[in-house]
């Protein structure tokens, strides 16, 4: 069985990243794809469930996992911890499952260092006006909060060049097709093809 590929996907809030990942999972694919579920110490919100949206644990448990080096990456955001379990990711990859990891550029840097064969994808909106429109249409934030999100978005978008792939999310279906194309291309690259067909290649090269 060939090993799965770890895909890092990052984008500023309002770019449509979560919708694209959900759309990708609903489409027929040649490959088994799953989204990584992070650990967090924040309180569970209405409609969320343990093991589906996050693994909800205490701060004490999280700190123990940090000491045990159980996380590929972790961060503290607004007094709560978020982290990606190394064991969970490696188990899926060794089972031949492609894993999508939804994290920001800082977490992406941590993952690249620990898992150099991972591939990263950055999503950009078609324009600032469209990004602002999408944030407003959510109806979740005040004008002040939206302005702060826009400022943060510009800072995040400055890191796009650190990624392997870039997708402009203008057309939803096209963006999903772009994601599927990236997945297929990575499975066809020499590194993964060699691992998958090593027996065949050895036989073909015998004198």
Check the annotation: does 175 bind a ligand: no
Task: Tell whether the model's pLDDT for residue 7 goes beyond 80.
Answer: yes
Task: Tell whether the model's pLDDT for residue 32 goes beyond 90.
Answer: yes
CB atoms within 10 A of CB 148: 12
Check the annotation: does 51 bind a ligand: no
Domain assignment of residue 184, yes or no:
yes
- As a whole number of angstroms, the distance between CA 184 and CA 30 comes to 8
Domain assignment of residue 91, yes or no:
no
Q: How far is CA 182 from CA 7, 8, 17, 122, 193, in A?
A: 10, 12, 15, 12, 15
Check the annotation: does 18 bind a ligand: yes
Report the percent of the chain where pLDDT is more than 90.
79
Would you state the pLDDT for residue 28? 77
Check the annotation: does 142 bind a ligand: no
Domain assignment of residue 133, yes or no:
yes
Would you state the pLDDT for residue 190? 94
Would you state the pLDDT for residue 137? 87
Give per-residue burial for 185-198: e unless 16+ CB within 10 Å, then b.
ebbeeeebeeebee
Check the annotation: does 46 bind a ligand: no
Domain assignment of residue 71, yes or no:
no
Domain assignment of residue 142, yes or no:
yes
Domain assignment of residue 198, yes or no:
yes
| β-bridge pairing 33-35 and 98-102 | parallel
The CATH number for 26's domain is 3.40.50.300
CB atoms within 10 A of CB 39: 20
Domain count, the chain: 1
Domain assignment of residue 67, yes or no:
no
What Rg do the C-alpha atoms of the chain give, in angstroms? 19
- Name 77's bridge partners: 80
DSSP 3-state of 160: helix
pTM greater than the 0.85 cutoff: yes
Domain assignment of residue 19, yes or no:
yes
- As a whole number of angstroms, the distance between CA 121 and CA 103 comes to 11
Check the annotation: does 12 bind a ligand: yes
Question: Is residue 14 within 8 Å of 108, Cβ to Cβ?
Answer: no
> What domain range is 116 assigned to?
6-35+98-204
Could you tell me how far CA 37 lies from the centroid of its own chain? 10
Report the percent of the chain where pLDDT is more than 70.
100
Check the annotation: does 118 bind a ligand: no
Mean pLDDT of 170-194: 95
Question: Is residue 32 within 8 Å of 96, Cβ to Cβ?
Answer: yes
DSSP 3-state of 56: strand
């Amino acid at each position: 069985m060939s090993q799965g590929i770890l895909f890092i996907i990052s984008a500023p809030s309002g770019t449509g990243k979560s919708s694209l990942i959900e759309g990708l999972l609903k489409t027929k694919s040649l490959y088994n794809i799953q989204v990584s579920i992070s650990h967090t110490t924040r309180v569970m919100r209405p409609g969320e469930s343990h093991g589906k949206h996050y693994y909800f644990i205490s701060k004490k448990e999280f700190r123990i996992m940090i000491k045990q080096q159980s996380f590929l990456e972790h961060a503290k955001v607004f007094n709560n911890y978020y982290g990606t379990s190394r064991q969970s990711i490696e188990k899926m990859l060794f089972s031949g499952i492609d894993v999508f990891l939804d994290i920001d550029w800082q977490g992406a840097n941590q993952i690249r260092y620990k898992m150099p064969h991972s591939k990263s994808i950055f999503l950009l909106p078609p324009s600032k006006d469209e990004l602002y429109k999408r944030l407003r249409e959510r109806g979740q934030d005040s004008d002040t909060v939206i302005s702060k999100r826009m400022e943060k978005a510009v800072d995040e978008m400055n890191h796009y060049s650190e990624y392997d792939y870039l997708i402009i999310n203008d057309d939803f279906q096209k963006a999903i097709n772009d994601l599927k194309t990236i997945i297929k291309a990575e499975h066809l690259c020499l590194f993964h093809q060699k691992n998958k067909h090593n027996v065949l290649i050895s036989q073909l090269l015998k004198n």
